[in-house]
Amino acid sequence: MNEKQKNIRNFSIIAHIDHGKSTLADRILEYCNAVTKREMEEQLLDNMDLERERGITIKARAVRIDYKHRDGQEYTLNLIDTPGHVDFNYEVSRSLNACEGALLVVDSTQGIEAQTLANAYLAVDCDIEIVPVINKIDLPSADVDRVRGEIEDVIGIVAEDCPAVSAKVGLNIDQVLDAVVEKIPAPKGDETKPLKCLIFDSHYNAYLGVVVYVRVIDGVLRAGDKIKLMNTGAQYDVVEVGYLNAFGLQKAESLSAGEVGYITASIKTVSETRVGDTVTTVENGASEPLQGFKEALPMVFSGIYPADGARYNDLRDALEKLKLNDAALSFEAETSVALGFGFRCGFLGLLHMEIIQERLEREFNLDLITTAPSVIYKIEKTNGEVILVDNPSNYPPTDTIKTAYEPTVKSSIITPTEYVGGIMDLCQDRRGVFKDMKYLDSSRVELHYIMPLNEIVYDFFDALKSRSKGYASLDYELAGYEPSSLVKLDFLLNGEIVDALTFIVHSEKAYARARKIAEKLKDNISRQLFEIPIQAAIGSKVIARETVRALRKDVLAKCYGGDITRKKKLLEKQKEGKKKMRRLGSVEVTPEAFMDVLKLDDSEK
């Protein structure tokens, strides 16, 4: 190990949502004068509005900080930020793999939560040093000792002398930096070996093309090098290398083993540079890529349509722009009889889906209609063929299905004990299979269930929150496919199937859901000049029905004193509403009605 390498510390901060990860990052930067208070936009690492609002970090970033330790030596600290949500587990694990250690931030008023554990386990899997940091000690309800105990008991790491800080008020930040330097090992790696860099993030920049963030494991990388991405096989000429500090990208001569930095190489989309891929040189390159590379696999699907059909092209442009920076987002054009032209989009999980939908609406000013989230079903047909179905409309007829499989997840729920009963009922209701229950301490419990993902994507998280007054936390990971008794539930308006309302549902729950949605449709469809029958059907068997009665009165009788404009305005408003309507055969439905029907938030509580 050379001198330079000895004084490098590569680390991440991991935490449950809202435990103060980003605030701590800010304080560290501030403390090291990497950025002055005035220059610092609050929570610098989260540089998307949406992230800041939701208090979560979506895309990882890496910042280099120069730090003079009390031993008099200069250290280079690379802080690699990680996304803080279960949907981005793979990205988190790649970021952690780029580090030798992680600060595990735990809120001293809350204690360990589901994502604290999930993140801690990821760090253990990556075999990196975990340094607990107990945060928010300025709050009156802080209980540092209890949380220390919890960390030792539940995660099994020493927390006795770990820093207890308040990132908000900047208390004891020096202790955190001491711990980074003293507890986290310097990177290993050999400059003389063939080049191996781990890609842990990338983002699209309009001037530079894709900026790829890497951790150099072995070798040296220079501008002008011919590089190869080992999993995709793509080759590029490196235009520039450097590192990111609080002021932006800083060009450098080279990046060598142990260092963290960026590469630009005229790469056009982030999907060419997959997180977890290995960069090496074309000549004298490494023979084996780094372990652990995975394709970004969407787990949750939803149809996204512009509320105004004329904005289809805008929606496509917006999705393409988002895709530039989000390799995990997938989309393909889809046509729905009910909703017109749109896209079937794949997401890593529910949060990812919500974020994309919100960004489309906010940053691109689009009004969207989104169908209920769906998962991928695996169908073994009677003719031996196996197909994957991500759109309920494409679910094959029952008589052609030998066995249907649905994805399940291992879910971990941490909750105060008083809500255990309600949460167990909920999990039961959502077809969860109980695995075990562990007391974290006398007041908190961790529950494990195997659950169909299909049940989680329908508002499970909201239901969990409402049954625990917001205290329960959830984490889940994919646990494979299980055979299941599934049916395709269609809804018919005036005798015509509305494809956007087709659901795949467990046979035992079909009746309840059919009734609920039929009722919701009845409440949400505005009356028209004829009666509209609503039917829910499995195949040709109708299992629920409702009727929207015909409209008989819609008149403004009075046209008083020559006030024509009042009536005109009223009609114009009515006409505007009509324009937004979607025509389903002979029935008109507002986009809002669709969304209300698809919102299942109270459907099974």
Judge whether 50 and 57 are in contact, CB under 8 Å. Answer: no
- The stretch near other proteins (CB under 8 A) out of 47-55, 247-255, 323-331, 574-582 is 574-582
Residue count, binding to other proteins (CB under 8 A): 26
Judge whether 220 and 258 are in contact, CB under 8 Å. Answer: no
Cα distance between residue 69 and residue 177, in whole Å? 8
Nearer to other proteins, 247 or 530 (CB): 530
Helix 591-598 to helix 510-524 angle, to the nearest 10 degrees? 150
Nearer to other proteins, 146 or 549 (CB): 549
- What is the footprint of other proteins within residues 48-87 (CB under 8 A)? none
Site string for other proteins, 475-514 (x = CB under 8 A): ----------------------------------------
Site string for other proteins, 153-192 (x = CB under 8 A): ----------------------------------------
Judge whether 285 and 293 are in contact, CB under 8 Å. Answer: no
- The stretch near other proteins (CB under 8 A) out of 171-179, 265-273, 478-486, 571-579 is 571-579
Least distance in angstroms from the C-beta of 498 to other proteins? 21
Nearer to other proteins, 433 or 570 (CB): 570
Alpha helical stretches, state H, 274-406:
312-324, 350-363
Least distance in angstroms from the C-beta of 572 to other proteins? 8
> What is the identity of the amino acid at 79?
L
User: Helix or strand or coil: residue 492?
Assistant: strand
Helix (H) or strand (E) holding 55: none
Q: For residue 494, how many other CB atoms are within 10 A of its CB?
A: 17
Nearer to other proteins, 421 or 577 (CB): 577
> What is the identity of the amino acid at 285?
G
Least distance in angstroms from the C-beta of 494 to other proteins? 15
Contacts (Cβ under 8 Å, ≥6 apart) of 393 = 336, 499, 502
> What is the identity of the amino acid at 353?
M
Nearer to other proteins, 479 or 581 (CB): 581
> Which of 477, 570, 592, 601 touches other proteins by CB under 8 A?
570
Cα distance between residue 532 and residue 589, in whole Å? 11
Contacts (Cβ under 8 Å, ≥6 apart) of 417 = 439, 442, 443, 444, 445
Q: For residue 141, how many other CB atoms are within 10 A of its CB?
A: 8
Distance of CA 550 to the CA centre of its chain: 44
The β-bridge partners of 237 are: 226
Least distance in angstroms from the C-beta of 524 to other proteins? 18
- What is the footprint of other proteins within residues 515-534 (CB under 8 A)? 528-530
Nearer to other proteins, 386 or 571 (CB): 571
Burial class (CB in 10 A: 0-12, 13-18, 19+), 198: buried
Nearer to other proteins, 288 or 572 (CB): 572
Nearer to other proteins, 433 or 551 (CB): 551
Least distance in angstroms from the C-beta of 575 to other proteins? 5
Least distance in angstroms from the C-beta of 566 to other proteins? 9
> What is the identity of the amino acid at 233?
G
Nearer to other proteins, 70 or 569 (CB): 569
Nearer to other proteins, 139 or 571 (CB): 571
Least distance in angstroms from the C-beta of 548 to other proteins? 13
Helix (H) or strand (E) holding 452: strand 444-452
- What is the footprint of other proteins within residues 288-327 (CB under 8 A)? none
Nearer to other proteins, 158 or 571 (CB): 571
Judge whether 108 and 144 are in contact, CB under 8 Å. Answer: yes
Nearer to other proteins, 310 or 556 (CB): 556
Least distance in angstroms from the C-beta of 551 to other proteins? 6
Least distance in angstroms from the C-beta of 363 to other proteins? 33
> Which of 33, 477, 571, 592 touches other proteins by CB under 8 A?
571
Half-sphere exposure of 330 (CA within 13 A, CB side): 13
Least distance in angstroms from the C-beta of 473 to other proteins? 41
> Which of 574, 592, 596, 602 touches other proteins by CB under 8 A?
574
Nearest alpha carbon to residue 56 among 443, 467, 291, 352? 352
Least distance in angstroms from the C-beta of 340 to other proteins? 20
Nearest alpha carbon to residue 48 among 22, 15, 11, 14? 22
Least distance in angstroms from the C-beta of 531 to other proteins? 13
> Under the phi-then-psi rule, with left for phi > 0, alpha for psi from -120 to 50, and beta for the rest, what region is 427?
alpha
Nearer to other proteins, 254 or 494 (CB): 494
> Which of 268, 578, 583, 605 touches other proteins by CB under 8 A?
578
The β-bridge partners of 227 are: 236, 281
Burial class (CB in 10 A: 0-12, 13-18, 19+), 328: buried
- What is the footprint of other proteins within residues 539-568 (CB under 8 A)? 551-565, 567-568
Least distance in angstroms from the C-beta of 565 to other proteins? 5
The residues that touch other proteins, with contacts defined as CB under 8 A, are 528-530, 551-565, 567-568, 570-571, 574-575, 577-578
